[in-house]
């Protein structure tokens, strides 16, 4: 991995799990790391660990991605604090057992896993384009295979709520967003890629009883968070992560994925619908 000295790397969902390990890995490459999390105690602890891991500057900011106004506030804070932003790792995510709505009235998994990173990325995009070479790594999942976007019911109001199907929908949205962002920024010096961390045991499904039981049964076969973070770190720091854009990475390599995750009509429609939902221009 190349040294990231002087490079500002923002990591969301950084207070635990894959996000924490991603932040630690970037700090060991001497990046200036900006941690984003929603749990104050865990975030403070992680900030101390990350600061001890490298020679770059470390800072942290609280943000609950289920509140889009907090995401807007976070973006303003980052733009005020960071003259340059070179890397954004969209890592924050969740799985819920039952359907919940955010304060903005959106289905919570779709809001936290897709709308929030979409909003944050777009609000930071101009700064990142002015900081090239720069990179956006969006943590998706092989669960995108289960996803099938219904643009007439993105909030899962009209169909039965199945936790992992809804999660798969959000991960498909992540892959489509990363691909569309790559198309829109081609030739600018910014790369956009999606990442699958592998089947990792983290706190992601802490509110999902069935998922927790399943994870306990298969824990001996599940990779840890440090292993799961390797691909995010690779895409954020390696030479090829700065050369290749619009890819889906697994085990530090780009792979072929199902056509639905690169459907140009779906990608464009999702971009535009998402812009409408978060109150941004479509272009």
* Parts of the chain with a pLDDT under 70: 1, 200-223
CB 177 within 8 A of CB 114: yes
Which pLDDT does position 199 carry in this prediction? 76
The catalytic site residues sit at: 167
What's the pLDDT tens digit per position in 123-155? 999 999 999 999 999 999 999 999 999 999 999
pLDDT score for 203: 44
DSSP state of 53: H
The predicted model scores a pTM of 0.93
**Do 75 and 120 form a contact (C-beta atoms < 8 A)?**
yes
What pLDDT, in 10s, does the model give residues 80-105? 999 999 999 999 999 999 999 999 99
- Domains along the chain? 8-278 (3.40.50.720)
DSSP assignment letter at 144: G
- At 198 the pLDDT is 87
The whole-number pLDDT of residue 221 equals 45
């Amino acid at each position: 991995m190349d040294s990231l000295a002087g490079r500002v790397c923002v990591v969301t969902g950084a207070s635990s799990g894959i996000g924490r390990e991603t932040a630690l890995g970037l700090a060991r490459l001497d990046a200036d790391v900006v941690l984003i999390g929603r749990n104050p105690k865990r975030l403070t602890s992680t900030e101390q660990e990350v600061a001890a891991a490298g020679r770059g500057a470390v800072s942290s900011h609280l943000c609950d991605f289920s509140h889009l106004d907090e995401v807007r506030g976070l973006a303003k804070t980052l733009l005020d604090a960071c003259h340059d932003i070179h890397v954004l790792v969209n890592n924050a995510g969740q799985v819920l057992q039952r359907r919940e709505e955010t304060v903005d009235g959106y289905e919570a998994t779709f809001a936290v896993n897709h709308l929030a990173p979409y909003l944050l990325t777009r609000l930071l995009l101009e700064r990142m384009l002015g900081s090239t070479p720069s990179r956006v790594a969006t943590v998706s999942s092989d669960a995108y295979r289960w996803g099938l976007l219904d643009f007439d019911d993105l909030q899962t109001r009209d169909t039965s709520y199945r936790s992992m199907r809804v999660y798969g929908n959000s991960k498909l949205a992540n892959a489509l967003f990363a691909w569309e962002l790559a198309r829109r920024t081609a030739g600018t010096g910014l790369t956009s890629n999606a990442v699958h961390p592998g089947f990792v045991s983290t706190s992601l499904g802490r509110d999902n009883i069935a998922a927790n039981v399943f994870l306990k049964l298969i824990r001996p076969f599940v990779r840890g968070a440090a292993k799961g973070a390797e691909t995010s770190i690779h895409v954020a720091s390696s030479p090829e992560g700065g050369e290749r854009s619009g890819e889906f990475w697994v085990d530090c390599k780009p792979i072929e994925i199902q056509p639905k995750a690169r459907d140009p009509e779906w990608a464009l429609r999702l971009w535009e619908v998402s812009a409408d939902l978060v109150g941004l221009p479509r272009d």
